[in-house]
Amino acid sequence: MARFCANLTMLFQELPLAHRFQAAADAGFDAVELLWPDEAEEPPEELARLADAAGVEFALMDTPRGDSWGIGAQDGQQMAFFGQIIRTIDMADILGVTHVHVMAGLAGDGGRDVLTDNLIQACDLEPEQSFIIEPISTQAVPGYALNSFEAAAKVIAKVDRPNLGLLFDTFHAANMGHDPLNLFRKYQDLICHVQVSSHPSRHEPTLENRYDFPTFFKALDKAGYTGLISGEYHPSGRTEDGLSWLKP
């Protein structure tokens, strides 16, 4: 049965971050994700305490975005990436994070080869940590090095490590012109984490009728998907007023 996660970077923004953990738990979420905990005022020890007190899993965090949406694929930044990934692993250990999303960043033609080498380094450095990569549509982040699911799948195959998987975001899938369910079925063996929102507004999944999310959730259950489904969207109003998608 589907389990749901709240993206605390986007949801419950009417509350201070320290209060969003309990708000997510009270709303019925099983887990939380925080895109860039390095940007939070609270230290990781306090974020871990807040998640524990609320009884929610800490499902996902991103590597730092900086000014270029990450450096994982940027040539000449390999030493900087190594230092960054060590700090990220340390923070992930404190938070008890399930998945670390490695941001590829803005890069040129050779970026995916650089990303592949950097991911091998990260996966071998901490074999017990799950790392994931996400294809991000060019409409959302022009110049992002990993801008298709096919490219992401090829990188994962080249890295060939059991602790590397795919982050599947329905918004970016739709932005690329795909039907999210068909695309999920194509890459489901690689997918470790799912994020949902409406398209093209990136609001609540039920706000627009372009896609049937209840059917999508049931199909994921039928396919045997055991990961989390995260609401990663910009609420159209108060977060609590738009959670009908969580309780279909």
Supply angle C-alpha 126, 165, 187, rounded to 5: 170
Judged on CB neighbours under 10 Å (0-12, 13-18, 19+), 238 is: exposed
Cross-strand pairs, 231? 6, 196
- Among candidate residues 57, 126, 204, 232, the one labeled active-site is 232
- Among candidate residues 134, 150, 204, 240, the one labeled active-site is 134
Supply angle C-alpha 192, 162, 215, rounded to 5: 20
**How far apart are alpha carbons 108 and 170 in whole angstroms?**
25
240 is catalytic: no
Beta strands 57-62 and 3-7 are: unpaired
Cβ–Cβ < 8 Å for 98, 106: no
Taking alpha carbons only, the member of 120, 108, 121, 154 closest to residue 135 is 154
Write the DSSP symbol of residue 244: G
150 is catalytic: no
Whole-angstrom CA distances from 59 to 35, 36, 178 are 10, 13, 26
Active site (catalytic) residues: 134, 232
